[in-house]
Amino acid sequence: MPSKFSVWYNKLVDFNVESLFAKRKQPGPPRTVFVNEPLPPDYFDHKHRVKKEHIYCSNQVITSKYTILTFVPRNLLEQFRRIANIFFLAIAILQFFSIFSTVSAGLVILPLIIVIAITALKDGYEDIKRHQSDRSVNYSQVRVLTSGEFSNENAMAGKSKTFVRAIVPSFRRSKQKKGRNDGDVEVLQHGAPPEGIHTEGAELTHMPTATEDGVEYDDGEPIEQAGRLFHHRGASRRPHWKVSIWEDLRVGDIVKIMDDEPLPADVLICATSEDENVAYVETKNLDGETNLKSRSACPALTHLNTARACADKRNAFRVECDRPDTNLYKFNAAVVTSDGKRTSVDSNMVLLRGTVLRNTRWVIGVVLFTGEDTKIVLNSGVTPSKRSRVERQMNPQVFINLIILAAMAVACGIVDAVLEQHYFPLDAPWLYGDTQSDDNPRINGLVTWAFALITFQNIIPISLYISIEAVRTCQALFIYFDKEIYYEKTDQATLARSWNLSDDLGQIEYIFSDKTGTLTQNAMVFRQCTIAGRVYKGDEIESDVTPVGVPEAEDKVDNRSSSSTPPSAKKSSASTSSTDAISDPLAAKAVKKAEHVLAHFHDETLQADIAAAQEAVSGSAEDKHGRMLNGFWTVLALCHTALVSVDPDTGAIQYKAQSPDEAALVQAAADVGFVFRGRDREVLTLQTPFSQMGGNGGGGAKYERYELLNVLEFTSARKRMSVIVRKLGEDGEPDGKVYLLAKGADNVIIERLSAGQDELVRITEDHLSEFASEGLRTLTLAYKVIPEAQYEAWATRYHEATVSLGEREAKVEAVSDEIEHDLSLLGATAIEDRLQDGVPEAIADLREAGIKIWVLTGDKLETAIAIGHSTNLIGREDNIIIIRGGGEGHTPVYGQMLKAVEEFFPESGILQDEGVGLDENTLPQYQQQAGGYPLQRVNTGVSSLVGHNNGERPGGFILVIDGSALTHALSDDKHKHLLLRLAMQCEGVVCCRVSPLQKALVVKLVKDGVGALTLAIGDGANDVSMIQAADVGVGISGEEGLQAVNASDYAIAQFRFLKRLLLVHGHWCYARNGNMIVNFFYKNIICIGVLWWFQIYCGWSSQYVFDYTYLLFWNTFWTIAPVIGIGLFDRIVDDHVLMAMPELYRHSRNHEYFGTKLFLIYMFDGVVQSAIIFFLITYSYTSTTARSDGYDIARLEFSTNIAIGAVMAANLFNGLNTHVWTGWIFFAVALGIVLVWAYTAIYSIISPGWFPTLVYGNDHYLFRSPLFWFSILLVTILALLPRYIAKAYKMSFMPNDLDRARYIYKLDPTHDFSKDRHGGLANVSISSVRKRELGRHRPRLFHGSRTDMSTGLRSVDRGFDFATEENGVAIQRIQSHLSERHQAAAPAKRRRNPSTLMQSFSIGRTLRRKKHTSQSSSVHPNDEPSFSSPGSPGSPPESPPQHKS
């Protein structure tokens, strides 16, 4: 049991200043937002004031720490958490009493004031930058509905006065707002609150039909009709959109958001510019995903598509909402219109603050939550006041010194009181007159105690803190000017935003990293594919566009608008459909690279095979392979939900997909000649080289059209997506062929194949393994021809399942599984997700340094695992343990974790832990579920599934856990304890589908549960909470934005720079600061030791042994330079050695450079040296007189010798503790010695006529005495000798890796230390340098085994990735259209010109190193898939291949 003192001390140390000044507002109750309606009477109290629970917070978001009012008290509280500051304040106050004064009381307190003032200025400067960043976002602009008829009566709280706002008078701001058009809102490119800065600036430059006052009309009437002659104060009562700033936004306001603008609050969608009232948003700032999400308008509000309609009193409504919630994926509300009709609202109808509108010209919505009630702010943390571990460790050491000081003072007081009471009755002459009330033997002991505190106060060095601040500031500059971590592409240097955490960089034990934008570039390349057993390895085509042929009939179609129309003209009014503002994709003659897709795909062998198939005779080998090619690329071109747009500058097709990998797949099909031209509700348009015989590339081809019948959507359990389409004839009527096109994970697709394809399956699986071993992520494609009668019967069952009320998901899955069988294999794809440069190497080196890396991402489980393989986080021989949360039919999360411990770590001691085990609540459920899911299953014969040897592989274990499982695992202490114990057994952890708040909770779990120093790195606003929760936060400020930089302590441009930041700068800073601090304590204890030993000879009266000025200048002139030199210029070993040998970081990570043990050793060294100096010199001078005239010496004569000897010993001892002697170190060590000698010589000749001195003439006796010179030389050597012998012995007989590395580098500056990795230095003898060729081993990217603890299934992982928005509005909308059409009595008339309105769908990404060799193989299975081709013999098919029955 801890003692009461330790409990009290821990509470004091852990006291959080933020709890006093930054209390987070608790989420309010459920709210009702009234839109253009008055508030009900029950919202008011008896004084007709709105009740507190119905007052909503403003939209002002403040991330800064201080205000004008709180700056002084809060900053003082933070600084006086240092025990030393409290002590110095007490000593300064004590000396304001005349009885205790030594020099001027104001002069005594001046150093403390200077230290506090400098620190406060630094903190204030950092916070001013935060305020400027806040202002850049809070003053961003938004269009708000304004009208004489529209009123918003929802009550709002007042805005806070902040640092900057309180300085700038409000009347000045109001004057600046008038008539401003383009220059009054300050946008700072280097900071913003969590949701990030406005895209390209804070002002709204695109305002169609706008006036000079920032007013926009969308009713098509001339602006002049809104004249000001008859309007109050010139304000128009005609409904319009008025530009306002974000912080003035109110709950209940109706806003209009334009394309590429960020959302200022959580907004319910009323109407959009797109068909079907759909909007597309980028949620990167929320969940880290760059894929676009689709959102739809509330059906009851879609008529509110103009300002006039929104302001109409007849369209008033109210929204009943739940209380503010942190769950990003949960939103429950209901819209109640004026006629009393209720319409439910879910998360698919809401745009959250922090998201950015994309590919949608405008959205009109009503504000539901503002400011601190928005989900992104609820998921962000309070800006913390971080303190380094070294600083926290200094408090106990200062406390130890305080105890020593108290003991010394008590000893002096007691002994002095005893001596005075003994000698006063004996009429001792030195006690003459001690009969006053404040000067007598009874009270003098207490006075002596107080004097002792003042005399020995230097044992607590006040200059230490200011020295540390100065050194850390310079270390931040060293980091900033390091060219090795400077990114030329963006002109971005590594920036230390928090100067007091540099030494923490050298003690990091856990790194928590985001994935998207942090590890990856989020840029895709379609690398390879295998079709019918042949591998095609394409070349990268860097050109921006690839030409495609256009049929003559289609080439004559008039474009809806010219591609040269400027963007500002295309987005004209709220009532114009966006389809009228883009070029016709059917007439586009080129395909442009999609966003985040790096290259076009081109393969000469593939083009030759297509050309050969076009000329092939029916039934020949070329014809059969051509059918497979046609089927493969048709599946890629049709089985997706991508959006087709036309670039206004080039007139080329550009695919807009929900993820870059999906866009890469569709674009690759277009590059080959299978161009997806768009979708018009249920009609898909496709151009293929096989449509009709024509020129190369399909120049004379006609378009094929397919009717979309059903979409069997992707889920993480299905791991596949299928579409069912019907081929349409030239007249638009069905031709009777129904196809199922499927893509998914290899094991899922292969086990659903028809019989007779064993040879093709074997070859394809070999190719898949080759792709996966290179780090590429794979996708397997298959198809099936469905007889019409079979489809009609199945469609009826499927429709019944989709409309069922009970267990709908299970029924839909069962019916879908019925038809996804007997497939014909076509091939597989392999795409690369480009990692940032150097990421795999950096992660491998950081792991070798002993740092555990956890990846926390919002991506799906398969994506996260694939990135784990690509980044070397998951090695070839590693074992993967999967913990998944799920509903019924899955093992409980606690049971999964417990089963993993039993299976893989039975001897770890976890099972014997009292806090681990099943209680009465979890035991029955665990027993029921766990028995039904064995941890292995038999091999299906079509996929290499790992059996019992999972867990016996030579590699380590990697834990993969998803967000829903984390929700349970973090729910209580019992789950947290088991999760932490399990994770500690694993070499790495991957958390997927996690929310921003969960990221922070995971960091706190490790930080508090293990007590380790943590580092979090990310680039988005979804990483802010994680960055703030970690001991050190690093923000990526490269090309993905600056959202995370605002909350970070260090800003870097690339992940690979983290290696040098930790291994070099972190190691150096920690070694320097730790060495500087212990040497600082040493040099002060040697001075105090000399004063203490003198008390034996002065009656314990707290008298100074030497002149007070020597003590006064001790920490300012005599001994300050060497310790500052250590902090700035010492190098434990050179940087290239630290980079070449990451394992050297363990010396820093294991806290070898600073700690209580090292502190006590240096303190003891100081005490011993002070005794040597004092007693040797004292007894040398007392044996015989040193004067030539025979007179006895004075006190200040021999004590000056002691002072000089102590200064020389302290400075040379500091120099002895440096690891590299540079010119600066020589200068620093010599400076104090030269100054004390010069001061002694000059001070001794100052005449008393100038001012009284007690050492006048001292030079006459000192410098002429041989004893003076000999004693200084003797005591200096004897004082340093023990440390010198200890260092020499350690270097000769007990060297560590750092000693060996320094010695080798000294003898051989060209030595290649990369060959000494993995323990190579341990075999190096100090007496000679042996060079060993020790290769640098890197794990080859390959698949590892994995065990899914929720189902007990074990399988090989080939890097498959499949991602889409499950149950998203895109799939729901398509399904609803299909359901409506099935219910219709007559078929709907199809449009001939399909539009491009289609959602996107995500497929996996991966990484590989490009291979320069290519190979292909051919296979002709016995049961060859055939095409149904109506053309002449040998003509290529018009449709996907049909499997022979």
- CA atoms of 1016 and 509, how far apart (whole Å): 11
At 1070, which helix (H) or strand (E)?
Answer: helix 1067-1094
The answer to whether the CB of 218 falls within 8 A of the CB of 306 is yes
pLDDT band at 1412 (very low <50, low <70, confident <90, very high): very low
Question: DSSP for 1253-1302?
Answer: -S-TTHHHHHTT-HHHHHHHHHHHHHHHHHHHHHHHHHHHHS--HHHHHH
Euclidean distance between the first and the last CA atom of the chain, given in angstroms as a whole number: 78
The answer to whether the CB of 1038 falls within 8 A of the CB of 1054 is yes
More confident site: 7 or 1318 = 1318
Residue type, 1152: E
514 as an active site residue: the answer is yes
Chain-centroid distance, C-alpha 1173: 54
**Which of 514, 671, 859, 1031 does the annotation list as catalytic?**
514
Q: Which DSSP letter does residue 1045 get?
A: G
pLDDT at 432: 75
* Cβ partners under 8 Å of residue 1230, min gap 6: 1211
Q: Is 293 helix (H, G, I), strand (E, B) or coil?
A: strand
Average pLDDT over residues 427-450: 77
Distances (CA, A) of 1060 to 137, 715, 1054, 1055, 1141: 33, 41, 11, 10, 12
Backbone angles phi, psi at 611, to 5 degrees: -65, -40
pLDDT at 318: 92
pLDDT at 563: 31
Average pLDDT over residues 1366-1395: 54
* Cβ partners under 8 Å of residue 1251, min gap 6: none
More confident site: 385 or 133 = 133
Question: DSSP for 1352-1364?
Answer: TEEEE-----EE-
pLDDT band at 581 (very low <50, low <70, confident <90, very high): very low
pLDDT at 648: 83
pLDDT band at 145 (very low <50, low <70, confident <90, very high): very high
| Range in 245-249, 527-531, 590-594 with the lowest mean pLDDT | 590-594
- CA atoms of 1008 and 278, how far apart (whole Å): 45
The answer to whether the CB of 591 falls within 8 A of the CB of 667 is yes
* Cβ partners under 8 Å of residue 1122, min gap 6: 1079, 1083, 1210, 1211, 1214, 1215, 1225, 1228, 1229, 1232
- CA atoms of 1051 and 940, how far apart (whole Å): 50
pLDDT at 845: 93
pLDDT at 826: 95
- CA atoms of 619 and 636, how far apart (whole Å): 25
Here the tokens at position 337 are: 């219109």
The answer to whether the CB of 284 falls within 8 A of the CB of 586 is no
- CA atoms of 1073 and 1039, how far apart (whole Å): 34
pLDDT at 683: 87
Q: Render the burial of 1280-1294: b for 16+ CB within 10 Å, e for the rest.
A: beebeeeeeeeeeee
pLDDT at 1356: 63
pLDDT at 110: 79
- CA atoms of 1129 and 182, how far apart (whole Å): 49
More confident site: 620 or 1209 = 1209
Among the ranges 425-434, 545-554, 1011-1020, 1369-1378, which has the highest mean pLDDT value?
1011-1020
* Cβ partners under 8 Å of residue 905, min gap 6: 982, 985
Residues 177-222 have pLDDT tens digits of 333 333 222 222 233 333 433 333 334 444 444 445 678 887 666 5
Give yes or no for residue 1421 having a pLDDT over 70.
no
Residues 793-831 have pLDDT tens digits of 999 998 888 767 667 778 888 899 999 999 999 999 998
Residues 492-529 have pLDDT tens digits of 899 998 888 999 999 999 999 988 778 887 778 898 99
The answer to whether the CB of 56 falls within 8 A of the CB of 157 is yes
Residues 921-933 have pLDDT tens digits of 555 444 544 443 3
Distances (CA, A) of 797 to 144, 354, 803, 814: 48, 42, 10, 10
Give yes or no for residue 992 having a pLDDT over 90.
no
pLDDT band at 90 (very low <50, low <70, confident <90, very high): confident
pLDDT at 225: 44
pLDDT at 732: 67
Residues 901-954 have pLDDT tens digits of 988 888 888 888 877 876 555 554 445 444 433 333 223 222 332 334 555 667
Q: C-alpha angle with apex 1048: 1044 to 1051, nearest 5 degrees?
A: 85
pLDDT at 1384: 56
Residues 559-575 have pLDDT tens digits of 333 333 333 333 333 33
pLDDT at 387: 83
- CA atoms of 556 and 115, how far apart (whole Å): 79
- CA atoms of 1166 and 1081, how far apart (whole Å): 9
Beta strands 1050-1052 and 1032-1036 are: parallel
pLDDT band at 1265 (very low <50, low <70, confident <90, very high): confident
More confident site: 454 or 782 = 782
pLDDT at 580: 40
* Cβ partners under 8 Å of residue 239, min gap 6: 145, 146, 147, 149, 150, 219, 306, 307, 308, 310, 311
> Which spans in 249-374 are helix H?
284-287, 307-311
Residues 1040-1063 have pLDDT tens digits of 456 678 778 999 999 999 999 999
pLDDT band at 606 (very low <50, low <70, confident <90, very high): very high
Give yes or no for residue 969 having a pLDDT over 70.
yes
Rounded to the nearest integer, the mean pLDDT of the chain is 78
pLDDT band at 546 (very low <50, low <70, confident <90, very high): confident
| Range in 509-513, 1110-1114, 1289-1293, 1316-1320 with the lowest mean pLDDT | 1316-1320
Average pLDDT over residues 296-320: 91
Give yes or no for residue 789 having a pLDDT over 60.
yes
Residues 322-378 have pLDDT tens digits of 888 887 777 888 899 988 888 888 888 999 998 999 888 999 999 999 988 888 888
Give yes or no for residue 1385 having a pLDDT over 60.
no
Average pLDDT over residues 759-778: 84
pLDDT at 735: 73
At 31, which helix (H) or strand (E)?
Answer: strand 31-35
Beta strands 55-56 and 1032-1036 are: unpaired
Average pLDDT over residues 113-132: 84
The answer to whether the CB of 1317 falls within 8 A of the CB of 1140 is yes
Average pLDDT over residues 465-493: 91
Residue type, 1128: L
Backbone angles phi, psi at 725, to 5 degrees: -130, 155
| Range in 285-294, 1013-1022, 1208-1217 with the lowest mean pLDDT | 285-294
Q: Is 1018 helix (H, G, I), strand (E, B) or coil?
A: strand
pLDDT band at 395 (very low <50, low <70, confident <90, very high): confident
More confident site: 175 or 706 = 706
Q: At what angle do helices 1369-1383 and 788-803 cross, to 10 degrees?
A: 120
- CA atoms of 1420 and 620, how far apart (whole Å): 11
